[in-house]
Amino acid sequence: MSHAAANTPVSTAASTAQSVSVKDEAGRLRLFCFHHAGGSAWSFAGWAHRLGRSVEVVPVSMPPRSVSAAGVPGGVSTMDALVNEVTRQLAPALDEPYAFYGHSMGSLVAYGVAQRQLAAGRRPPACFVAGAHRAPHLPPAPDLAVELSDGATLELLLGLGGAGRLVTENPGRVRAVVDRLRDDLQVCATYRYPAAGHRPLPCPVHILTGDRDPLVPAADAAAWRTHSSGHFSVRALPGGHFFNREHKDLFFAELRRVLGSAEH
């Protein structure tokens, strides 16, 4: 697979697994990227160029998500079902060293997949990076009510910095983004941390946050330490919930640094 192809989102997680079944360069670390609520695999466009040839960027395209998606082939309506389906479809691609990056909701999905890898006795990630999400054992952010009007949903997006360009550049897409965000928030609301059976991740765990993120206080980011038995770090970067877009040079420099320390 070419360097460019590694950054091309695919239609399903199963396609993701198939597309990385053969690595084109020895020693490259596969980075599976899990998008935020309301986002898509295209959220990671351009990451391959930013991270360089030592990293193979694999955006994960998740199955359809909504309260009514259980009747859709491959669709899911709960966080548990979402994680189970993504784990099942990605499993063939997780047989060589890999890392996870999840942003916001994606951190929760990535963590669930990593836990299922451990429970099944399969290879865990060589490095786990979570951005813009509190530790999974903590209650969800109180501001994220799921019964939001269109206006409130859009206001939430704008307040977090996730829709400003969308509104000004392509207002026709607002409807689809609002619907997708609402569906994802409803799925996230079904998450329940299973106190029994979860183990600390036996790999470096790095947490990235925005120093002005209203949803992730510093203490809630630091609480991820409970979920690591190896090297652990927390780094606050300038910005809000989408700090990865606000200060790209700083963000990618930090991501390159933590990925470079992974053993693979």
Distance, CA of 17 to CA of 15 (rounded, Å)? 5
- What positions carry a catalytic annotation? 104, 241
Contact 263, 126 (CB under 8 A): yes
Check: CB of residue 134 under 8 Å from CB of residue 108: no
CA dist 199 → 6, 103, 114, 195, 234 (Å): 31, 21, 10, 10, 20
Count CB neighbours of 40 within 10 A.
Answer: 15
Number of DSSP helices (H) and strands (E) in the chain, helices first? 10, 6
CA distance 56 to 47: 9
